Amino acid sequence: MRARSGGDHFQDGGGGVDNKKSERRVPELLVGAGTVLTTDNLNRAFDAGAKFAVAPGFNPTVVREAVKRGLPFMPGISCATHIEQAMELSLRHFKFFPAEPLGGVTMLKAIAAPYKHLGVGFFPTGGINPDNAMSYLAMPEVIACGGTWLGKSADIAAGKWDKIESEVRNAVVMLAKRIL
C-alpha cells in the first residue's frame, strides 16, 4: 500500500485540526503537520493525529520534545551545522528549507554528501514545483518533496476542488514515473 501525504500547518496561528477524521475518511492518508514552531504546536499536532511534523528551522527545544515523546519530526536545516546538531539529538531526517532559494538540488547534494553513509533523508520544500520536483526526487537521500502548487491557499479558500484534484492527479502521474 502506498501512503498519500496530506498536511496541516501552524503558520499564521492555524493548525491543530482533527487529522484523525481525515484518516477515517481516507485510511491510506499519511497526515502530517507543518510550520511547527513551538512545543505547543508539536503537542497539538500529534494530539490531533498527525503522524509526522516538520518545522522551517532548527529549534533544539522543539526537537528535544519530539525525541523525548518519540514523535517523527523533521526540523528545517539549511547547512551542515544544522544537520550535525539534529544528528546529535538522534534525528536522521530533515526538512531542507527553503530549498530553491538556498541553491536547490546543487546545494542539497553538497550538504548531503558527507552524511550519506549515516542514512540521512531530506524533505525539500520551498520553491518545489512540477518543473523541478523530479530533480530532487532523483536523489536517493530525498524521501519526499513538499509542493504548495498542489493546493494553493487561494484555491482552497475559493473551493476550486476540481483544479486542486487536477493538480494532484498530474503530480501522481509525474511521481509514478519515479516509482516505476
Within 13 A of 49's CA, how many CA atoms are on the CB side? 15
**Per-residue model confidence (pLDDT) at position 9:** 55
Secondary element (H or E) of residue 65: helix 60-69
CB 95 within 8 Å of CB 67: no
Check the CA dihedral 80-86-90-96 and report its sign. Answer: negative
Q: What percent of the chain has pLDDT over 90?
A: 70
Q: What is the pTM of this model?
A: 0.85
Give 87-111 pLDDT, tens digit per residue. Answer: 999 999 999 999 999 999 999 999 9
Of 82, 8, 80, residue with least CA distance to 42: 8
